[in-house]
Amino acid sequence: MVITKEDRMGCSVHLAEDEKSVIILDQTQLPNRQVYLKLETAEEIYDAIKVLAVRGAPAIGICAGYGMYVLSLKKEPENYDIFKKAMHDEGEYLISSRPTAVNLSWAVNRMLGVVDANADKPVPEIVGLLHDESIAIQNEDIEMCARISEYGLSLVKDGDGILTHCNAGPLATSKYGTAIGPMLLGKERGINFRVFADETRPLLQGARLTSYELEKAGVDVTLICDNMASLVMKNGWVQACFVGCDRIAANGDFANKIGTSGVAILAKHYGIPFYTLGPTSTIDMNCPTGDDIRIEQRNPDEIKEMWYKEPMALSSVKCYNPAFDVTDHELLTAIITDQGIIYPPFDVNLRKLFEK
């Protein structure tokens, strides 16, 4: 697959034309405003990830990759040890912005691997290698999403109803996306699905982003509140559930946006196949089970007041606001990756995938 600069520039995260900053489409402003942000400092990159201006596991990884390159441009070029220490410090800082999606640390560590492996080279040369590595991260994501979309498409047929949760489309990745990829690829090929998008409380990624992306692409999408999924399934309108993932453990348990495990439990009840779709960069073989995945806790105001003219609960009321939950691998029909469709037993088959 040939990926051009134009392909990359068309993505929600990319390197600026002058290659000195990271450009992101500010996802907090969608669907009402298309605003692009220019990120130049470690603080700006950290904040953009933290507030979800850039979000979705692969997009966060791409942003971190480019971020590390952009930050390397500002470092002292004379001394390798000082350069290396500064890059590691900033990498650690970026990783601390959000803990659950493995793609963030995966991308930062991949960039640091380039720094560590080239101690014998002058710093400007290492900076050049970091540039190439950050581009490679995005190119690979574009390729992986295309392959995931093909595999996902092979599991559904024209006219099927598909339910999705959160947003795992191009905004969260690169072209096509993961969970939404088969729907977009299908549309291009004249295969039509009827998609149900959970609004995805509390930050409404389903309403603000998924229904926006699908509607713009001409896909038949119906927005539902999260608590309507059961009825929609009972009505017989859903033939498959496609969701993204933020970290897949070695036994197939996976973290995704809060509410995903509830969808999986409902799907099991109604006998509907339930799939997670993600690039191999989201599989963390160092994480044995879902119990080992750190779940991000977020500000209670996101539940109580963020979307309302006035607070919807007393300020003294306690809130529990985890950003993700873990879906047990036993609820999962298959994991759709860029390397193929992985069926149970997941521990055995994921290990085989990485041994390859």
Residue tagged active-site, from 141, 160, 198, 246: 246
Report which residue type is found at 19.
E
Question: Which residue, 87 or 155, is less far from ligand MRU as judged by CB?
Answer: 155
Of these, 46, 56, 152, 337, which contacts ligand MRU (CB under 6 A)? 56
| Of residues 350, 238, 186, 232, the one with CA closest to residue 284 | 350
Nearest distance, CB of residue 108 and ligand MRU, angstroms: 16
261 binds ligand MRU (CB under 6 A): no
In the bound state with ligand MRU, the residue whose beta carbon lies nearer, of 25 and 52, is 52
Residue nearest to ligand MRU (CB): 244
Query: Which of 213, 151, 190, 170 shows the shortest CA–CA distance to 56?
Result: 170
Q: Does residue 168 bind ligand MRU (CB under 6 A)?
A: yes
Which of the stretches 155-163, 171-179, 285-293, 309-317 binds ligand MRU when contact is defined by CB under 6 A?
171-179
List the beta bridge partners of residue 340.
337
In the bound complex, what is the minimum distance in angstroms from residue 272's beta carbon to ligand MRU? 18
Q: Is 57 in the site for ligand MRU (CB under 6 A)?
A: yes
Quote the CA–CA distance of 139 and 284 in Å, as a whole number.
21
**Contacting ligand MRU within 278-317 (CB under 6 A):** none
Contact characters 183-222, ligand MRU, x per CB under 6 A: ----------------------x-----------------
User: Residues 324, 329, 330, 331: is their CA dihedral positive or negative?
Assistant: positive
User: Considering only residues 173, 261, 327, 337, which one is a binding residue for ligand MRU as defined by CB under 6 A?
Assistant: 173
Q: Is 256 in the site for ligand MRU (CB under 6 A)?
A: yes
Instruction: Outline where DSSP puts E strands in 291-347.
Output: 324-327, 334-337, 340-342
Q: For the window 332-351, what string marks contact with ligand MRU as x by the rule CB under 6 A?
A: --------------------
DSSP output for 147-170: HHHHHHHTT--TT-EEEE-S--SG
Instruction: Give bridge partners of residue 11 from the DSSP assignment.
Output: none
Q: Give catalytic status of residue 253 as yes or no.
A: no
Give the span between the Cα atoms of 185 and 54, in whole angstroms.
23
* Residues 226-255 close enough to bind ligand MRU by CB under 6 A: 244-246
Answer for which of 86, 241, 323, 334 binds ligand MRU (CB under 6 A) is 323
Q: How many CB atoms are closer than 10 A to CB 304?
A: 18
Residues contacting residue 180 through CB under 8 Å, at least 6 positions apart: 164, 167, 168, 169, 170, 210, 213, 214, 242
Query: Hey, how many other C-beta atoms are within 10 angstroms of the C-beta on 162?
Result: 27
Q: Are 98 and 106 in contact (CB under 8 A)?
A: no
Tokens representing residue 199 in the block? 């609004």
Question: How big is the site for ligand MRU, counted in residues (CB under 6 A)?
Answer: 19
Smallest gap from Cβ 260 to ligand MRU, in A, equals: 7
Indicate which single residue of 172, 207, 263, 264 sits in contact with ligand MRU (rule: CB under 6 A): 172
Hey, which residues are catalytic here? 246
Binding stretches for ligand MRU (CB under 6 A): 52, 55-58, 101, 166, 168, 172-173, 177-178, 205, 244-246, 256-257, 323
